[in-house]
Structure 1
Amino acid sequence: MADLFDLQPQDDGPTPGTPRPLADRLRPRRLSEVIGQDHLLGPDGPIGAMLASGALSSMILWGPPGVGKTTIARLLADETKLHFEQISAIFTGVQDLRKVFEAAKLRRRQGRGTLLFVDEIHRFNKAQQDGFLPHMEDGTIVLVGATTENPSFELNAAVLSRAQVLTLHRLTLADLEMLAQRAEKELGRRLPLDGPAREALLEMADGDGRALLNLIEQVVSWNLKAPLDAKGLGARLRRRAANYDKSGDGHYNLISALHKSVRGSDPDAALYWFARMLEGGEDPRFLARRITRMAVEDIGLADPQAHRVSLDAWETYERLGSPEGELALAQAVIYLALAPKSNAGYAAYKAAREAARRTGSLAPPMHILNAPTRLMKEQGFGTGYQYDHDAEDAFSGQEYFPEGMKRGVYYVPVDRGFERDLRKRVDFFAGLRAKRQKG
């Protein structure tokens, strides 16, 4: 995947007079010119510290498109006098890798190191990733990998143990404004946009510097005589598609944001993340399943109606389809966000499962076992069982845990919503049980 100010291996350069894209003309020539990554490149950052000490180690640059991964790799090679070799995991096979490693070995024997930049490194399979290890260990290459996916999930543990993972940030609006000003200086003119239109243009780039420069080139090509407003800009340009991979980090990050916003009782934030996922092309059925999970996991018996609301919204979507059915899901999101929260049922379930794993062979007490045959009655099955409906308050207070097992307390309702009433019932029966068992 192309990156901000993407730098290809050196060649003879463009023919004099050949038009050059704005992104090519604005490539940083020094690391200090890279925008938005001071946390890595500054004196106190990991890359800044490496350069200051003169010891460059292998690294994985993790971040969204258009934030400078390729640029940083190339400039690192320049500043450390290493030969820069760039490959893409999409187009490079095993034979290509062997050639790269052999050339690096030859270069090393001649006294020069190699910085191997691997774009989309997460696309290499396990065997291909393992192929880097001996060459990293013996110093043949300094590996700089670039990925838009979470390295924890996509890269081998062996590679991660030999490389630092450095996270690049999405460019902020302030970063993009700085880049726009550089573009204006290079072009020798101001962008023909009023204030709101300029802000809209920056937002259209969605944190991607290369995307912004491409948008700026389009705006400049119109040769406008008067500044354009936001409405006029919107009519001429379409917002860049959001960075959202339904099987990658974007998917898991956004559903986590939605779930935690509902749990945090923030309906506005929850609706925003819900809408972001829909705009990214997420399957509404996945959202319906997750909304239902929120109801049983984070609301539970504090509002039993939340479960029903979620299922009804899911069924409504199945009957109406898109886009009308998505409104029912949105309303469920609002309801869940504003519902009283409790994970007491969820916690009780997990605690009971853990107790069951520890004591799974203990038999129920004899008095609650059925005795359908005379032999079983003679063996004492069911002896002493008290029929609760015959007892005072329809409550016998008998013990139902296995004999010899300490009584467990798993369900502890919170003092919110409907569980406030359930808590009163739990306390009532606990007191009554103690009284009956004592009697």
Structure 2
Amino acid sequence: MADLFGNTTSTNSSDHTTRPLADRLRPTNLGDVIGQQHLLEADGPLGGMLERGSLASLILWGPPGVGKTTIARLLAHETDLHFVQISAIFSNVAELRKVFEAARLRRDSGKGTLLFVDEIHRFNKSQQDSFLPFMEDGTIVLVGATTENPSFELNAALLSRSQILVLNRLDPEALKTMLARAEQELGRALPLTEAAGESLIDMADGDGRALLNLIEQISAWTDTNRIGPAQLAQRLSQRAAQYDKSGDAHYNLISALHKSVRGSDPDAALYWFARMLEGGEDPRYLARRLTRMAVEDIGLADPQAQSLCLDAWQTYERLGSPEGELALGQAVIYLALAPKSNAAYAAYKSARAVARDTGSLNPPKHILNAPTSLMRDLDYGAGYAYDHDAEDAFSGQDYFPEGIERAQFYTPVERGYEREMLKRLNWFSKLRSDRQRK
């Protein structure tokens, strides 16, 4: 055959079947599976199970197009189990009962069942519970596939009876291997330059099924000259980056953005910000999270950061996309380079914790208002010192409830504007000590 990107033409004849290319190239044994060697090698979890001759129930967690269904089919073949596939999107409880009953009859006649459940996270908690007795008595070996984090989407009972295996997105080398196999199956090289071949790999974005679908489109072209990257981009609609705004990718990317800002890396922060925008994220969500970052990770080290985020948010509301997104991008850069302090955030959490533990304690009487004679008779407000009448406008009185010791929640850092806050805190602390000694 030709080299990877078709610099020569193969004379091998093709099977001109109408089956989709992805189906024709589906591996027939586990050794042909691309990109998941960490699971399939002899010392990997699946390789070890097969060597021992026993297959546990599994949850295959990974992005689309990386071989979850293929691996499940091949596991059934390798272990001589009857393969049954259902999708949580289209199945209901009545259908599950039929599947379980058929598997029970099959078991009683000496044949086991591997039940492959695609999109298993789509089942609700009670539906997930329905699998448990049939897993426990050996009626089925469950292999579930999910693109979402199982620890969030599957219940604890199901997780405790299954082994979680993480499948990797396909790297460029794995996709190039898949491209070479596709060209061999087609019996000819694709009409692409080497640079266009690299662009094709980028378009697939780690998804093998998407790559094969793109290859199938290209294979129908009748070009005699090889096509470059620009022509390829014109003819193919580049796949949107894999991004589910309600799923795991959403939380992974916002976490990456937040931690890049916290780590004072404006370039990485801009990258993750752009990734989310390209994936279709609502800029208002990003504006809200950026404002949260300003409060949590910068705080009083730069009080202007919060105002700048709110201004950027308002700018977006006035301008819309795409012009308003530039203001949010500027906020990303500012936050990343601002001095960092979580002292106010930590103080807030500490105060909340103490408040939860002491929530029934009343304020001290000397800071209670006394609008009625009865309240004055009960010493409400008695002994209150009006701070503006005190030296330095500071009385040093105790404002905590009786029964708990004075606590210090806020400890400023020696960065940014909090240096000034620390000076003031230390000054008031010294005045308080002086007043108490008097």
State the TM-score, normalizing by the size of structure 1.
0.91
Secondary structure at 1:296 match in 2: helix
Deviation at 1:362, TM superposition (A): 2.5
Give the residue type in structure 2 aligned to 1:66: G
Counterpart-to-counterpart distance in 1, 2:361 and 2:98: 65
**1:144-171 superposed Cα distances (whole Å, 9 cap, x missing partner):** 1111122223223222221112111111
Return 184-193 or 36-45, whichever deviates more: 184-193
Identity %: 72
Tell me the residue number matched to 2:164. 165
Change in 2 beyond 3 A, CA 1:125/1:402: closer
Query: Corresponding residue for 1:106?
Result: 105
Corresponding residue SS for 2:410: coil
In the superposition, relative to structure 1, how do residues 130 and 399 fare at CA in structure 2: closer, same or farther (>3 Å)?
closer
Q: Which residue of 1 aligns with 2:430?
A: 431
Paired with 1:200 and 1:130, the residues of 2 have a C-alpha distance of 45
Gaps of 5+ in 1: 1-15
Matches within 5 A, 1:8-407: 18-407=17-406
Per-residue CA shift, 1:228-260, capped at 9, x if unaligned? 222222122121122222222222222222222
Q: Secondary structure at the match of 2:300?
A: helix
* DSSP-derived class of the 1:362 partner: coil
Residue 367 of structure 1 deviates from its aligned partner by 3.1
Query: What is the rounded CA distance, in whole Å, between the counterparts of 1:247 and 1:200 in structure 2?
Result: 29
SS of the aligned residue for 2:181 comes to helix
Shift of 1:287: 1.6
Q: Which amino acid aligns with 1:27?
A: R
1:275 aligned partner, one-letter code: A
Q: Map Cα deviations across residues 162-213 of structure 1 (whole Å, 9 max, x no partner).
A: 1112111111112112211222333344433333322211110011001111
Q: Please state how far the C-alpha of 1:45 moved relative to its aligned partner.
A: 1.6
- Deviation of residue 388 (structure 1)? 2.4
Question: 1:135 & 1:245 partners in 2: Cα distance?
Answer: 32
Match of 1:416 in 2: 415
Change (3 A) 1:434 1:92: same
Code of the aligned partner of 2:319: L
Q: How far apart are residue 419 of structure 1 and its match?
A: 0.8
The alpha carbon displacement at 1:105 in A equals 1.7
RCO comparison, higher one (Cα < 8 Å, 6+):
2
SS at 2:401 equivalent: coil
Q: Quick one: which amino acid aligns to residue 44 of structure 1?
A: D
Q: Once the 2 structures are TM-superposed, how far is the Cα of residue 279 of structure 1 from its aligned partner?
A: 1.9
SS of 1:411 mapped into structure 2: coil
Structure-2 separation of matches of 1:79 and 1:397 = 78
Deviation at 1:31, TM superposition (A): 0.8
- Which digits, 9 at most, give the CA deviation of each residue in 1:379-410, with x for residues without a partner? 44333333323333222222222234211010
1:281-300 deviation per Cα after TM superposition (whole angstroms, max 9, x unaligned): 22222222111111111111
Q: Distance in 2 between matches of 1:368 and 1:127?
A: 54
**Counterpart AA for 2:111:** R
Distance 2:293 2:398 in 1: 34
- Tell me, in whole angstroms, the C-alpha distance in 2 between the residues paired with 1:363 and 1:124: 49
Residue identity opposite 2:417 in structure 1? F
Relative to structure 1, the CA distance from residue 202 to residue 401 in structure 2 (aligned partners, 3 Å threshold; closer, same or farther) is same
What displacement does 1:119 show?
1.3
Distance 1:18 1:381, change over 3 A: closer
- Using the alignment, how far apart are the partners of 2:195 and 2:100 within structure 1? 51
RMSD: 1.9
CA distance in 2, matches of 1:95, 1:182: 41
| Deviation by residue 1:329-358 (Cα, 9 ceiling, x = unmatched) | 221122111111111111101111111122
Change (3 A) 1:436 1:243: same
1:4 match? none
In the alignment, the residues of structure 2 paired with residue 93 and residue 376 of structure 1 have an alpha-carbon distance, to the nearest angstrom, of 65
Tell me the CA shift for residue 373 of structure 1: 4.1
**Paired AA for residue 96 in structure 1:** E
- Greater CA drift, 233-242 or 90-99: 90-99
Name whichever of 94-103 and 301-310 sits farther off.
Answer: 94-103
Aligned mates of 2:300, 2:97 — CA distance in 1 = 61
**Deviation sequence 1:206-225 (CA, Å, 0-9, x none):** 11001111112222322433
Distance (whole Å) between structure 2 residues aligned to residue 276 and residue 238 of structure 1? 18
How many aligned positions are there? 424
TM-score (norm 2): 0.91
Cα distance, 1:271 vs. partner?
A: 1.7
Whole-Å separation in 2 of the counterparts to 1:144 and 1:436? 71
2:83 is paired with a residue whose SS is: strand
How far apart are residue 378 of structure 1 and its match?
4.7
For structure 2, which runs of at least 5 residues remain unmatched after alignment? 1-14
Q: Deviations over 1:305-327 (max 9, x none)?
A: 11111111111111222222222
> Tell me, what secondary structure is at the counterpart of 1:311?
helix
Alpha-carbon shift at residue 377 of structure 1 (Å): 4.1
1:170 partner letter? R
Q: 1:17 to 1:35 in 2, by over 3 A?
A: closer
Q: Distance in 2 between matches of 1:110 and 1:371?
A: 85
Secondary structure (helix, strand or coil) at the match of 1:118 reads strand
